[in-house]
Amino acid sequence: MKIASEEMALRPGFWTVLRRALQWRCPNCGEGKLFASYLKQVDHCDACGEKYGHIRSDDAAPWLTILVVGHIVIPLVIVVEKQVSWPNWVSMTVWPGLSLVLALLFLPYAKAIFLSAIWATKGPGSERN
């Protein structure tokens, strides 16, 4: 029991972990990279050796991305479409394009947040317990 409490004392706080996630850094040490490529997470941290390969965020990151992008784009659509009278083809190009760009920009941040939160809360990160 003493070992578990010592391990928790060595772990960084939850807000530190989330800050490191937004920098795409290892939640444990803050030095190593969290991603090998756009959305491909590393198996382990190059700096401290902490393992992340077993953690899966599955549909959580796309869910958060849709939630955030929707709350940005929909109010813009409502405000701009009331103010500006442009052709339909412009609306059908601008709004999906903006949504796509924002989703692609935000998705890695959302995945990093969930990966780090799962690690910080010591969740199993997979179907296995």
Residue 129 lies in a domain: no
Q: Is the pLDDT of residue 7 over 90?
A: no
49-107, pLDDT tens digit by residue?
Answer: 999 888 988 899 999 999 999 999 999 999 999 999 999 999 999 999 999 999 999 99
Residue 128 lies in a domain: no
Q: Is the pLDDT of residue 123 over 60?
A: yes
> Which segment of 35-39, 55-59, 121-125 scores lowest on mean pLDDT?
121-125
Residue 12 lies in a domain: yes
pLDDT at 58: 86
pLDDT at 127: 58
Q: How far is CA 39 from CA 58, 105, 115, 121, in A?
A: 12, 11, 11, 21
Q: pTM of the prediction?
A: 0.84
Count of domains in the chain? 1
Cα–Cα distance for residue pair 34/5, rounded to 1 Å: 26
Residue 94 lies in a domain: yes
Residue 10 lies in a domain: yes
Residue 127 lies in a domain: no
Cα–Cα distance for residue pair 43/26, rounded to 1 Å: 11
The amino acid at residue 28 is N
The domain in which residue 81 lies consists of 2-120
Residue 114 lies in a domain: yes
Residue 75 lies in a domain: yes
Structure tokens at 42: 């590393």
